[in-house]
Structure 1
Amino acid sequence: MARGVYIHIPFCHQICNYCDFNKVFFKNQPVDEYIEAIGKEIALAVQQMPEQFNEIETIYLGGGTPTALSANQITRLLQLINTFLPTKQLIEFSSEANPDELSEDKLQALINGGVNRLSMGVQSFDQSLLKKLGRTHSNEHVYETINKAKQVGFHNISIDLMYGLPGQTFAQWEDTLEKALQLNLPHYSAYSLIVEPKTIFYIQYVKGRLNLPTEDSEADMYDLLMKKMDEKGIRQYEISNFALDGHISTHNKIYWDNDEYAGFGAGAHGYLNGIRYSNHGPIKRYLEAITEGKRPVIHSHQVSQEEKIEEQMFLGLRKNEGVSFKEFENKYLIPMKSIYGDIIRQLVNDGLLVEDEAGVRLTRKGRFVGNEVFQHFLM
């Protein structure tokens, strides 16, 4: 049964140099037709699998950039969502946003349609780094937009930050963290740059033109991040996420709990009935499938028990609380240590895992090499 719903809006007014998500320039795109198609896809899925959507807890609008839409387009999208999904029971209804696109009428359209959480892509408070990233907003946009959002009624606001950027210094990162924390927001996400194929940064990297910080420098930036958040009483609850009590991202926790969710829109991914699936990415192919009255799924995979167990470990260990022995056994009908006992002992001896009566979790040292730890749990 789906705990959450992800809806992909692939339109952007500016393509960022690091982004590998499914996206297109907004101009000359069939945006209104796409919005109507989202409604049809949701309606079809609910018709075919009504039991999957009875108890959804969250909806997340991602992209691309949902706030690339006009206020009227946002209103229509939310009308369709509220028509076909049971939104009155939601714990959380999030939308991603760009600071320089959130006009007051868009904010009002979002909140009138039930959105109660904003996740803003700030990335840096250094204008030279923002330019390298291909971002178009300024610090003033961030401050003004957050103030407007609060005035309209948004109190659950998160911002994304990035470190390990080309040419980024420790001092620049420290300044960004200080400016971010001065906003006194309830939630922060901070990610190290990953150079993905099919991005402008990847082309520069291949040509030897991307001046990235060293691994040690990046580790120092991550260390500073954890210290600064801790000093402000903002609790780390996942490798890259920090929140005040009561403001953990319910939607993202669905992924880390390895629970099921539906994905709608071009290029969206979902996980329902033990099947991981992905939709057509090209908008034209997506719209063709919807016009034919079919779900636009291009690829699906029945997840095996072995794969589920692996995912439970490497996703669950991202959380500070780690993976519970009891929940693992209840879910898979086998004790965790009967599969991973030797691995757990090894990682505990290496100072990368902590084991107690409740379960296992990364140590602070383990968070720096999380991906290496996760590899041990692939059977």
Structure 2
Amino acid sequence: MRANGVTAHAIPREPGYGCVSLTSLHNQATMIGAALPTVKPGMPEIPGCPARGRDRDILARMASWGIYVHIPFCPYKCSYCDFDSGVYPKPMVVAYLDALKQEIARASAPCEAEALVVDTVYFGGGTPSLLDPEHLDDLLRTIRRRFAVCTEAEITIEANPGTITAEKARAWRQLGVNRVSLGAQTFSARELEMLGRQHTVEQVGESVALLREVGVENVNLDLILGIPGQDLASWEQTMDRLFALRPTHVSVYMLEVHEGTPLAAQLARGLLVEPDEVLTVRMYEQFLERAVAEGYEHYEISNFCCPGFASRHNLKYWSDEPYLGFGCSAHSYDFRERRWNVATPRAYVQAMRERGEAVAGRIPMTEQRRIEEALMLGLRRCAGVDLVAFRERYGVDVLQRYGAQLAPLGEAGLIEIGGGFLRLTRKGLVLANEVFAVFV
């Protein structure tokens, strides 16, 4: 449903941060981090980042978890999409949903037979809004039987404009869905056609209004930057129409063109013009300026929200919190490891039938890997990494351990420190992947 990949573009920083230059970070760690306690040999292990399995089990039981459920079905294939999603016959859909319920039911707590506390559930795809309400009800009932789902849990479903009816929206609300993510992508009819999208510009507004009528106020709109032929005029039009709708949340993604897609073939034949990178950055800067002026908070590289409406589920990914993924291609993280399922719906159904699980691979989470991933993902948030809190949670003084790697980034103007937070600069947000490469 979404564009592949997440853009890391420029943002205007508010003045008055009082940032400390990191030009000589490695040699100035003591000065910059004067308020930070240092890590000394022989210090006891910090429970926040336990290396031993038993300690990580305790940590997992104390946490609030997120659940992601992947629904790979779509009414059509977008020209830019390289996901294993599309139109499947009804028997395959039924078999896939049965396999999902089997996987959810077989999920076990990390250490004991006790229900994990869940405070976010996210149905992604694909186009989950294609599901009949009774199928969604069946999945949610299975989740609630197996897990302790909080009364105030954030429950999100992704949807395409044009696939939502009043009856379906009311059913979602009754089932507890309180957040909907709409794949608007653009408010230009020409650009929608180029992307192979089959909804109209008008259907975006109609879907938002319909959701509000039934009581779903928390609505995200996805936008895509870097569409061939996109220009400042069409982007201005998209911003005008988007902010007129006042969604509570907006995600802005960079279009990535993958081999084998119709869009890639059109570009290769010269039928479309590659998007201009400088122009795309300028459009993103315009969006940032407009979003701030409209009262939105920029809280992550590609995400903006009205105050109090940040995506609680996605924050788990950037905050080293655990989550379980069900369905093909779904990923899970439980402090011990990252694991992922087989990629295709057919392989998923077959795996669940033959071996009762669909895991395709695992990466053990060593202490070092967990710390470095926490740094990398934490830097995605615009507030950055709280250095004191990081030290308390992981037992690591970031400036002491990683000063040598961070110093060149400071000299290049990609990172800065202000108010005890390590964060990306405006330039760093443009070149975020260069910063993240230090921890990969």
* TM-score (structure 2 length as normaliser): 0.81
1:174 pairs, out of 222, 236, 239, with: 236
CA distance in 1, matches of 2:281, 2:113: 45
The reply on whether 1:281 has 2:356 as its aligned counterpart is no
* Mapping for residues 16-55 of structure 1, pairs under 5 Å: 16-46=78-108, 54-55=116-117
Letter in 2 for 1:103: T
Using the TM superposition, give the Cα deviation of residue 197 of structure 1 relative to its aligned residue in structure 2, in angstroms: 4.1
SS in 1 for 2:356: coil
Partner of residue 397, structure 2: 335
2:371 pairs, out of 301, 305, 309, with: 309
CA distance in 1, matches of 2:92, 2:300: 38
SS in 1 for 2:227: coil
CA distance in 1, matches of 2:144, 2:260: 35
Using the TM superposition, give the Cα deviation of residue 68 of structure 1 relative to its aligned residue in structure 2, in angstroms: 1.5
**Maintained 8 Å contact 2:335/2:365:** no
2:133 pairs, out of 64, 68, 71, with: 71
Structure 1 residues 52 and 327 mapped into 2: Cα distance closer, same or farther (>3 Å)? farther
Using the TM superposition, give the Cα deviation of residue 84 of structure 1 relative to its aligned residue in structure 2, in angstroms: 2.4
CA distance in 1, matches of 2:190, 2:297: 30
Partner of residue 254, structure 1: 316
Letter in 1 for 2:68: Y
CA distance in 2, matches of 1:264, 1:161: 26
Partner of residue 110, structure 1: 172
Moved over 6 A (4+): none
CA distance in 1, matches of 2:266, 2:142: 41
The reply on whether 1:188 has 2:281 as its aligned counterpart is no
CA distance in 1, matches of 2:178, 2:112: 25
CA deviations 1:188-239 (Å, max 9, x no partner) are 1111112234433334445555422221111101111101101101010011
Using the TM superposition, give the Cα deviation of residue 28 of structure 1 relative to its aligned residue in structure 2, in angstroms: 4.3
CA distance in 2, matches of 1:283, 1:184: 36
The reply on whether 1:268 has 2:268 as its aligned counterpart is no
CA distance in 1, matches of 2:405, 2:251: 30
Using the TM superposition, give the Cα deviation of residue 52 of structure 1 relative to its aligned residue in structure 2, in angstroms: 8.3
- Quick one: percent identity of the two aligned structures? 35
Letter in 2 for 1:308: R
Return the index of the structure with the highest Cα Rg: 2
Using the TM superposition, give the Cα deviation of residue 53 of structure 1 relative to its aligned residue in structure 2, in angstroms: 5.3
CA distance in 1, matches of 2:393, 2:84: 33
The reply on whether 1:325 has 2:378 as its aligned counterpart is no
Letter in 2 for 1:272: D
**Maintained 8 Å contact 2:105/2:142:** no
Using the TM superposition, give the Cα deviation of residue 333 of structure 1 relative to its aligned residue in structure 2, in angstroms: 1.9
Structure 1 residues 313 and 203 mapped into 2: Cα distance closer, same or farther (>3 Å)? farther
Letter in 1 for 2:215: G
Letter in 2 for 1:258: D
114-123 vs 188-197, greater mean Cα deviation: 188-197
**Maintained 8 Å contact 1:66/1:95:** yes
CA deviations 1:314-342 (Å, max 9, x no partner) are 21111011112123223332211122213
Using the TM superposition, give the Cα deviation of residue 76 of structure 1 relative to its aligned residue in structure 2, in angstroms: 2.6
**Maintained 8 Å contact 2:301/2:429:** yes
* Mapping for residues 115-194 of structure 1, pairs under 5 Å: 115-194=177-256
Extract unaligned runs of 5+ from structure 1: none
Structure 1 residues 86 and 22 mapped into 2: Cα distance closer, same or farther (>3 Å)? farther
CA distance in 2, matches of 1:61, 1:298: 21
Extract unaligned runs of 5+ from structure 2: 1-59
Using the TM superposition, give the Cα deviation of residue 272 of structure 1 relative to its aligned residue in structure 2, in angstroms: 2.1
Relative contact order, higher structure (CA 8 A, sep 6+): 2
**Maintained 8 Å contact 1:96/1:118:** yes
SS in 2 for 1:93: strand
Using the TM superposition, give the Cα deviation of residue 49 of structure 1 relative to its aligned residue in structure 2, in angstroms: 5.8
SS in 2 for 1:287: helix
2:302 pairs, out of 219, 240, 245, with: 240
Using the TM superposition, give the Cα deviation of residue 70 of structure 1 relative to its aligned residue in structure 2, in angstroms: 2.2
CA distance in 2, matches of 1:227, 1:65: 31
Partner of residue 412, structure 2: 350
CA RMSD in angstroms, aligned pairs only: 2.1
CA distance in 1, matches of 2:323, 2:156: 15
